[in-house]
Amino acid sequence: MYNKNMKIAYVITGLGIGGAEKVTVNIANHISRLDNNVMIIYLVGENLNQKNIDTSIKTYGINMKKNPASFFICLIKVWKILKDFKPDIVHGQMFHANIFIRILRLFAKIPKLISTEHNSYIGGDFRMFLYRTTDFLSDLNTNVSQEATNYFVKRKAFSAKKSRTVYNGIDLEKFKLNPQARQKIRQQYKIDDDDFVFLNVGRLVPAKDHRTLIEAFAMGAWYKKTPKLMVVGYGELRSDLENLAKERDLSDKIIFAGKQDNIVDYYSAADCFVLSSSWEGFGIVVVEAMVCKLPVVATDAGGVREVLNDDSFIIPVKDSQRLKDKMLYVMELNKEQRDQLGKKNIKTAQRYDINIISNNWLKIYQQH
């Protein structure tokens, strides 16, 4: 049994729509539901997750700007919030929040401080230097994959003696196949019942490398089947990617669906999930697709290999030829074979269940 009624303050850089933000909100909700007092402090931007945050959790937006005066003022703001809250644990999430809260600890009482990163790629050597020089201010450092943890320890950004891997937690109950949604989405986008649909979910930004995905799809020798590629997400590269699809004469086969809240319906409508990222921290969408019983083809980006746990469906990053070959392989499997892959993926995904991960965090909060 673990002590309940702990006070835990999550401090995160922002509350946008990224994977790290989603995971932090999910963990905060579940920790709160286990009879703990939880708050979330976000440093910049708007709270785009308010509807997903339990009403029992207080959220504070600090509105920090990119100048030293604002940084100092925000340190005082957060110090006052924490002084009133009296947390047992302060849990930083992402680079800016981690450095911010470490600096705050130089003059504010923080009983236990945990720093969590969500990637191995954090933007350059200077950020690694800042982690290294402030490491003494953190009681525990975590990352979301063993690959990323090892990388930080190797770069001496995190000290080995107080670093560990804690996988992201996913609310698996929200991701289950829905036959009615499959039919609805396919009708909406004029996809025939016999069409094979490859699905990609992610922001349209360089890290997700949709260009390699589109090039792989363009070179596919698809034989008698007529596949479609559905890309769900939005971002700065949308017009460029739409132009690339047009250049490859694929405008009628590649569907840019934009940002969608009912994402499980799109998993339901697909036959195979494809991740083409050049780097990832964990690969939350991979787990979501696995829970929805989809075969998954993914690039060897960050912790994705650990998440998928099947090297036969991992291909090198930026290799459109190998990506095409593996996509073609999955498409040529019969339905029974794809179902077997889907069942195996569901079983693998169970280790990322939000309830298991939340209990792991409670153990950590008790120990440190």
Residue 1 pLDDT grade (very low, low, confident, very high; cuts 50, 70, 90): very low
Task: Judge whether 229 and 202 are in contact, CB under 8 Å.
Answer: no
Over 70: is that where the pLDDT of 292 sits? yes
- Print burial letters for 285-319: b (CB count within 10 Å at least 16), e (below 16): bbbbbbbbbbbbbbbbbbbbbbbbebeebbbebeb
Task: Judge whether 274 and 254 are in contact, CB under 8 Å.
Answer: no
Backbone angles phi, psi at 253, to 5 degrees: -115, -15
Over 70: is that where the pLDDT of 113 sits? yes
Assigned fold of 7-169+353-367:
Rossmann fold (3.40.50)
Lowest mean pLDDT among 196-210, 216-230, 258-272: 216-230
Per-residue pLDDT reduced to its tens digit, 29-72: 999 999 999 999 999 999 999 999 999 999 999 999 999 999 99
- For residues 261 and 298, the model is more confident at 298
Residues forming CATH 3.40.50.2000 domain(s) in the chain: 7-169+353-367, 172-351
Q: What is the pTM of this model?
A: 0.89
* pLDDT at 152 (0 to 100): 95
Residue 3 pLDDT grade (very low, low, confident, very high; cuts 50, 70, 90): low
| Distance, CA of 115 to CA of 283 (rounded, Å) | 20
Lowest mean pLDDT among 1-10, 228-237, 311-320, 321-330: 1-10
Over 70: is that where the pLDDT of 194 sits? yes
Lowest mean pLDDT among 64-78, 116-130, 211-225, 315-329: 211-225
| Distance, CA of 324 to CA of 220 (rounded, Å) | 6
Helices 19-33 and 284-291: crossing angle, nearest 10°?
70
Q: If you average pLDDT over residues 320-327, what whole number do you get?
A: 96
Over 90: is that where the pLDDT of 124 sits? no
Report percent pLDDT > 70 for the chain. 98
Would you call 254 helix, strand, or coil by DSSP?
strand
List C-alpha distances in Å: 131 to 90, 126, 135, 170, 220: 17, 9, 6, 27, 44
Residue 226 pLDDT grade (very low, low, confident, very high; cuts 50, 70, 90): confident
CATH architecture type of domain 172-351: 3-Layer(aba) Sandwich (3.40)
User: Residue 255 is encoded by which pair of tokens?
Assistant: 């569907």
